[in-house]
């Protein structure tokens, strides 16, 4: 995949990244989400930027863990559906 250079602004700093072109929208949305969360934290507390970034990182990490748990639960449900189908087949033969 071809690389594409972009600049993102996070917490008042500009970062140059080289990414796959088809992921640009994801990076732009992530940049906006970090900015939104930073503004929310800054409006609630008076602290250093580093503290705001720490709070935002924690919020985003919690979201990732929740999504992973949901995905794991989905796999468990799929497995239970498969076991239920197998049980129905077995009982149908009796």
pLDDT confidence of residue 91: 82
pLDDT confidence of residue 32: 95
Question: Distance between CA 42 and CA 50 in Å, rounded?
Answer: 11
Helices 24-44, 49-92: axis angle to 10 degrees equals 120
Mean pLDDT (whole number) for 60-84: 84
Query: What secondary structure letter does DSSP report for 4?
Result: E
Q: How far is CA 74 from the centre of its chain?
A: 17
**What would the pLDDT profile of 43-53 be if each residue is shown by its tens digit?**
998 999 899 99
Query: Model confidence at 72, in pLDDT bands (50, 70, 90)?
Result: confident
pLDDT(75) > 90: no
Cβ contact 39:56 at 8 Å: no
Query: Higher model confidence: residue 34 or residue 69?
Result: 34
């Amino acid at each position: 995949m071809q690389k594409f250079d972009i600049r993102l602004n996070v917490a008042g700093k500009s970062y140059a990244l080289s990414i796959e072109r088809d992921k640009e929208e994801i990076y732009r949305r992530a940049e906006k989400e970090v900015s939104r969360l930073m503004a929310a934290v800054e409006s609630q507390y008076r602290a250093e930027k580093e503290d705001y970034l720490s709070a935002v990182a924690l919020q985003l990490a919690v979201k990732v863990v929740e999504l992973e748990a949901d995905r794991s639960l989905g796999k468990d449900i799929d497995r239970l559906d498969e076991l239920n189908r197998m049980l129905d087949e077995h009982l149908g033969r009796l």
